[in-house]
């Protein structure tokens, strides 16, 4: 159990961390950020060495453009955590905060900024930080955003209130991160200029969070207990079959002992033959008994394992606020909004849908960004089992990457990124083909 060492600093809570050097990439742009991080190429990003005695977080005040409330948002300080790598859909893995007290937080929790009063939620990027200097935003979009957001906010039983009122960064950090992305998607839709790329990016991150949620010890233990239940069913069916078989073998042994041996008693059969048959029938009967005993031992061992796992991991309260579970809460949200995913797979499917829309409507620029988006569409297709689509997009991506590498020889950095991404695509396409073949056999 990690003990948090919160200290009050004025009105702010800060999580102290030990000083340590830890580089982290600076944000490079919407898709580039993902891919460049994932493929671990270092040159184009600037490293910022961490000075000593830094805190993990810093705080920014910003006026809510919808309701005028001054909010204080938590930001993750560069270098306060490291990751050991990225999964093939760019999900960061092996996150390690410099301050172990912060380990329960996924930095994604702080990517979206939610107004404490009206729940207006935006990605906390430079564009949002400087909204009050953005004349075009203020003149053309702010009124639409205000009207649409407040119309939703004022619905007593609306989806926005249900989501926003269940935010709890301390008790439910993972669930809250998912909720904030969902609210971010709602506000993208209400922005008067909904971007498919942002919706795709948010659903992708929701799918990463679901993976961590499902990977928690209690959830993993519940899966194992479920699997053990299946195995016990198989063992019990086998034991039932063995009972029938044992009776059959006992009858066989009796037939050998009494009928056969008596029948050949008066005939000219060697004693060795007689004893060989009797011995074999006896061994066969013993083996069947042993099989039943060991089978029963296996069933018992499985039952013990399930009970121990339940006692160690699953006794924790799965409740989410007043809901029986987070899943049940999401089910309630989905009654008001169809686009709420229940699982990593559903979120991947949504992410793919929006990346494809962004790809088709020209939101994604040509060149490296397009290659990365194509790669993601292919990989997400593979992950949700749409192998045909995966093959098509891996093929498209490969062609684009090869062309870019051939035409940009002077741009060493881009060539290096594209080459690394091409290697990943080749490997994932190979895996996709294997899965397709596996599905056919």
> 82 vs 92, 96, 98, 162, CA distance in Å?
10, 5, 8, 34
CA distance 51 to 73: 22
CB of 71 or CB of 88, closer to Zn ion = 71
CB of 15 or CB of 62, closer to Zn ion = 62
Shortest Å distance, C-beta 108 to Zn ion: 22
Shortest Å distance, C-beta 66 to Zn ion: 5
CB of 143 or CB of 226, closer to Zn ion = 143
- Please report where in the chains the tokens 């088709």 appear, as a residue: 360
Shortest Å distance, C-beta 227 to Zn ion: 46
Shortest Å distance, C-beta 330 to Zn ion: 24
Cβ contact 207:351 at 8 Å: yes
Shortest Å distance, C-beta 73 to Zn ion: 12
Shortest Å distance, C-beta 117 to Zn ion: 5
Shortest Å distance, C-beta 148 to Zn ion: 13
Cβ contact 278:261 at 8 Å: yes
CA distance 307 to 304: 5
CA distance 231 to 227: 6
Shortest Å distance, C-beta 118 to Zn ion: 3
CB of 120 or CB of 329, closer to Zn ion = 120
CB of 66 or CB of 384, closer to Zn ion = 66
CB of 86 or CB of 149, closer to Zn ion = 149
CB of 81 or CB of 120, closer to Zn ion = 120
Let me know if 77 is exposed, middle or buried by CB neighbors in 10 A (0-12, 13-18, 19+): middle
Shortest Å distance, C-beta 136 to Zn ion: 21
Pair of tokens at residue 97 = 């905060």
Shortest Å distance, C-beta 63 to Zn ion: 9
CB of 90 or CB of 120, closer to Zn ion = 120
CB of 67 or CB of 231, closer to Zn ion = 67
* List of residues contacting Zn ion (CB under 5 A): 64, 66-67, 69, 115, 117-118, 120
CA distance 102 to 56: 8
Q: In terms of DSSP bridges, do strands 70-76 and 57-63 run parallel, antiparallel, or are they unpaired?
A: antiparallel
CB of 119 or CB of 213, closer to Zn ion = 119
CB of 120 or CB of 320, closer to Zn ion = 120
Pair of tokens at residue 158 = 């609306």
Shortest Å distance, C-beta 173 to Zn ion: 22
Cβ contact 203:354 at 8 Å: yes
């Amino acid at each position: 159990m990690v003990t948090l060492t919160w200290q009050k600093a004025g009105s702010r809570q800060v999580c102290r961390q030990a000083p340590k050097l830890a580089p982290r990439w600076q944000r490079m742009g919407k898709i580039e950020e993902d891919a460049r991080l994932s493929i671990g190429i270092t040159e184009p990003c600037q490293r910022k060495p961490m000075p000593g005695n830094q805190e993990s977080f810093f705080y920014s005040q910003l006026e809510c453009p919808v309701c005028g409330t001054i909010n204080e948002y938590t930001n993750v300080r560069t270098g306060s955590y490291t990751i050991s790598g990225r999964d093939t859909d760019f999900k960061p893995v092996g996150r390690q905060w410099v301050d172990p007290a912060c380990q329960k937080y996924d930095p994604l929790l702080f990517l979206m900024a939610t107004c404490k009063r009206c729940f207006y939620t935006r990605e906390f990027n430079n564009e949002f930080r400087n909204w009050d200097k953005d004349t075009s935003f203020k003149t053309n979009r702010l009124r639409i955003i205000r009207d649409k957001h407040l119309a939703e906010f004022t619905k007593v039983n609306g989806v926005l209130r249900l989501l926003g009122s269940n935010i709890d960064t301390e008790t439910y950090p993972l669930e809250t991160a998912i909720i904030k992305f969902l609210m971010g998607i709602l506000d993208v839709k209400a922005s008067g200029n909904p971007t498919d790329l942002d919706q795709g990016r948010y659903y992708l991150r929701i799918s990463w969070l679901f993976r961590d949620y499902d990977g928690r010890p209690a959830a993993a233990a519940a899966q194992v207990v479920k699997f053990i239940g299946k195995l016990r069913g198989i063992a019990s069916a086998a034991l039932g079959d063995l009972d029938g078989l044992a009776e059959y073998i006992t009858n066989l042994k009796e037939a050998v002992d009494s009928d056969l041996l008596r029948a050949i008693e008066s005939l000219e059969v060697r004693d060795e033959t007689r004893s060989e048959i009797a011995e074999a029938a006896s061994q066969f009967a013993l083996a069947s008994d042993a099989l039943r005993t060991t089978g029963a031992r296996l069933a018992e061992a499985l039952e013990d394992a399930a009970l121990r796992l339940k006692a160690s991991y699953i006794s924790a309260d799965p409740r989410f606020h007043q809901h029986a579970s987070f899943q049940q809460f999401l089910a309630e949200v989905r009654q008001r909004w169809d686009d709420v995913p229940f699982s990593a797979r559903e979120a991947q499917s949504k992410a793919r849908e929006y990346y494809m829309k962004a790809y088709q409507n020209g939101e994604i620029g040509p060149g490296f960004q397009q290659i990365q988006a194509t790669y993601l569409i292919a990989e997400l297709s593979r992950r949700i089992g749409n192998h045909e689509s995966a093959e098509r997009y891996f093929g498209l991506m490969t062609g684009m990457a090869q062309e870019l590498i051939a035409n940009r020889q002077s741009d060493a950095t881009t060539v290096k990124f594209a080459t690394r991404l091409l290697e990943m695509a080749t490997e994932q396409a190979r895996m996709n083909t294997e899965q397709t073949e596996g599905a056919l056999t």
